[in-house]
Chains A and B, each alone.
Chain A
Amino acid sequence: MNNKVKALIAIVVVAIAGVVVVQQQSGGDVTLTLATVNNGQMKDMESLKSEFEADNPGIKVNFQVMEEGDLRSAVTSDVANKAGQYDIVTIGAYEVPQWGANGWLTDLTSDLADDAYDVGDILPPVKDALSVDGMQYAVPFYGESSILMYNKEILDAKGVKLSNNPTWNEVAAAAKKVNSANTAGICLRGKPGWGDLFAPLTTVVQTFGGTWYDMNWDAKVNAPEFVQAVTFYKDLLASAGQKDPVSYSFNECLTALKTGKVAMWYDASVAASMLEADDSPVKGKMGYAHAPVAKTKEAGWLWSWNLAVPANTQNKEAAVKFIKWATSKEYHNLVGTKLGWSLVPPGARTSTYSIPEYKEAAAAYAPITLEVMSAVNPKQPGVNPQPWVGIQYVAIPEFQDVGNQVAQLVADAIAGRITVKEALDKGQVIAQAAGDAQK
């Protein structure tokens, strides 16, 4: 046989042999695989994992960092099919109650009951959002609400003052007053997506008295309150918002505010720590206020990135040990002493806001973050009761698709391609189909 043919056959044999090799874990040691999202707090956790490994010989933690959309796809297919590739998963507050109810996650209630962990220290609204029927399925690594951020220098120059609990009418008037050719009055997300445009917009809808669904899962997307809120949002963007709003989400608005292209921004509270970072041009120039309201007392959203243990993991004991360490008071102290106090994960534990060093490092935004996160109500964020727990999303599997489709329609309305009424009439049909599936 020709040598070339033999070489090719050898390659195939090696490839096929590789396929059937089943990787065996070396006896005794446990390697935990953690699927997580790429952001500063998670990177800090990865940099500190050696401390956990040193205290727990025999346990190694392997971080798999993914883009947010990839994380959702990979973790959902893995956990739903009980494939067991991941021992610990990072999931949002949107997924936890659904996956917990499906039996996909380990019930952590008894594991968290020890005094040292102090589960009662977790911010109550966050804990509520991670529990189903009294059983807790995940622990928050960090959390956030939404607040109004504004450049005091720009507002002061125009003689504009904002209260600590502003109304949307007050904010709209201020935005119009400071709006100029070089500086937009306010930056609001317009990029289509349930997690982009509809995160802030849903809170506006709720404080205007609207909701996605009533208690019977009948959609209310083209109800007068929903239409009024979306019209207000669109008009505010048109009269005092950034140019080309449908291409703006969190990062674009962050850059615009940092570079003085906009005067105000309503978005995630975690942005405040970036605006106050040492390399930020607006450090020390910013003011912060509660999410603007209309008919409700609070209108901030609630989000947390959480650590959960899939129900079928082979390493449950070690996985639970790690997530308790990563969300403990001791971990917060470790981050503060090793990496800097301003980097302590916010919005998870009440006690974090009592640490003197943290209060000093995060003086500009820590008090308002705690105030808003303690005040929001994920069980009834709007005027009327709702059949799910959650603020800026509807905790049903169909919502990602519904939210994305309706967001695209609303973005079309913001861009002037269709009217708000047309967009929401179409959105009503889409939302109702998902609502019917819940009945």
Chain B
Amino acid sequence: MKSTKATLITGATWIIAVTYFFPVAWMFINSFKTENDAASLTPKFIFTPTLEGFSRLADRGMVDYLTNSLMASVISTALVLLLAIPAAYALSVRPIVKVQDALFFFISTRFMPAAASILPLFIIFKNLRVLDNIFALSLVYAAMNLPIAIWMMRSFLSEVPHEVIEASRIDGANFETELWSVVLPIVLPGIAAVALICFIFSWNEYFFSVLLTSANAKTTPPFLASFVDGRGQFLAVLSAASTVAALPVILAGWFAQKQLVRGLAMGAVK
């Protein structure tokens, strides 16, 4: 009986896993097809593979877009960590007065949809002459991710046993030592989780990139969409572009897997 139940659970798990993974696998397979094969009404599993789609990416200068995405994601993530860690510290380890009000304020900045803020942002960027500037776009991404990062970091910092901090203080640790040598090493997996989530959000961001950039700072997501052709076939080249664009995030997640699992589990149990 127990064995039947285990088999059923295993079977269901496989079905769910394959269902989730299939679209990604299909994208990968399509990236090696010709446009006619990719657009075929009857799905083609047997075909002559081609690198034509990848070659078209190179012709369109995908490296520049990937570089812009990387810059925007790395800079914004660094900024977010720089601001979120001290902010979260002041909301948990050494709490300020009215912590709840401060937390509500941070999350309230995400209440307004991005579309409502785009016109004022566009005009500000235009007046500051920073339209199409990757550093300015990074600032927007940092502002976009900061509230969620503060909330996550606060949750991780709250997990640090107060006794450990007390002990370090009794041993004569000043604030800097307490932060760098005691607290941060304990929450390092949490920081990795926050960093990866901020990186992914920035890497995949589409709306602001479309409207605030043009020739020099355009990132990868609008570049992917640019292959969509209302008057022709585009599935193969779009799949190739999506495969390349997904790789950095998949690799980052794979390398940080161990830290991530620990980090994401932090704060789950009080």
Contacts and interface: CB of A to CB of B under 8 A. Distances in A.
Decide whether A and B assemble into one complex. yes
Interface of A: 2, 4, 8, 11-12, 15-23, 31, 33, 35, 37-40, 62, 64-68, 70, 73-74, 77-78, 81, 83, 85-86, 195, 249-251, 254-256, 259, 261, 268, 270-271, 274, 279
Nearest to B71: A18
Q: A-B pairs with the 5 shortest C-beta distances?
A: A18-B135, A67-B225, A85-B214, A19-B135, A67-B228
A24 to B, nearest CB: 11
Interface in B59-92: 60, 75, 78-79, 82
Contact of A251 (B134, B136, B230): B230
B231 A39 contact: yes
A65 B230 CA distance: 13
A39 B229 contact: yes
Nearest to A305: B231
Nearest to B206: A70
Contact of A8 (B82, B176, B216): B82
Interface stretch (B4-12, B95-103, B118-126, B253-261): B118-126
Nearest to B210: A70
Contact of A73 (B130, B211, B226, B233): B211
Nearest to A17: B135
B218 interface: yes
8 contacts: A15-B135, A15-B139, A21-B133, A62-B215, A66-B226, A251-B232, A261-B41, A270-B231
Contacts of A17: 135
B139 A38 contact: no
B82 A255 contact: no
B21 to A, nearest CB: 24
Contact of A38 (B132, B135, B214, B229): B229
A39 B232 contact: yes
B79 to A, nearest CB: 6
A276 to B, nearest CB: 14
B226 A38 contact: yes
Nearest to B118: A77
A40 B234 CA distance: 11
B31 interface: no
B180 A70 contact: no
Interface string B131-143: 1111110110000
Contacts of B122: 77, 81, 83
Indicate the member of A8, A21, A83 with the most B CB atoms within 10 Å. Answer: A83
A256 B78 CA distance: 49
B214 A74 contact: yes
Given A19-B136, A81-B122, A256-B41, 12 more contacts: A15-B78, A21-B135, A65-B226, A66-B222, A66-B226, A67-B225, A73-B210, A74-B211, A81-B126, A251-B229, A251-B232, A274-B231
A21 B132 CA distance: 12
A86 B214 contact: yes
A40 B67 CA distance: 26
A62 B40 CA distance: 34
A18 B132 CA distance: 12
Contacts of B215: 31, 33, 62, 64, 85
B186 interface: no
B85 to A, nearest CB: 10
Contact of B176 (A2, A38, A259, A279): A2
A274 B135 CA distance: 43
Nearest to B231: A39
B135 A33 contact: no
B78 A77 contact: no
A15 B140 CA distance: 12
Contacts of B75: 11, 15
A279 B233 CA distance: 12
Contacts of B79: 11-12, 15
B83 to A, nearest CB: 9
A259 B41 contact: yes
B50 interface: no
A255 B60 contact: no
B133 A18 contact: yes
Contacts of B228: 38, 67-68
A259 B42 CA distance: 10
Given A4-B180, A11-B78, A85-B131, A64 B218 contact: yes
A220 B39 CA distance: 39
A15 B138 contact: yes
A422 to B, nearest CB: 30
A33 B211 contact: no
B180 A8 contact: no
Interface in B192-249: 210-211, 214-216, 218, 222, 225-234
B55 interface: no
B230 A81 contact: no
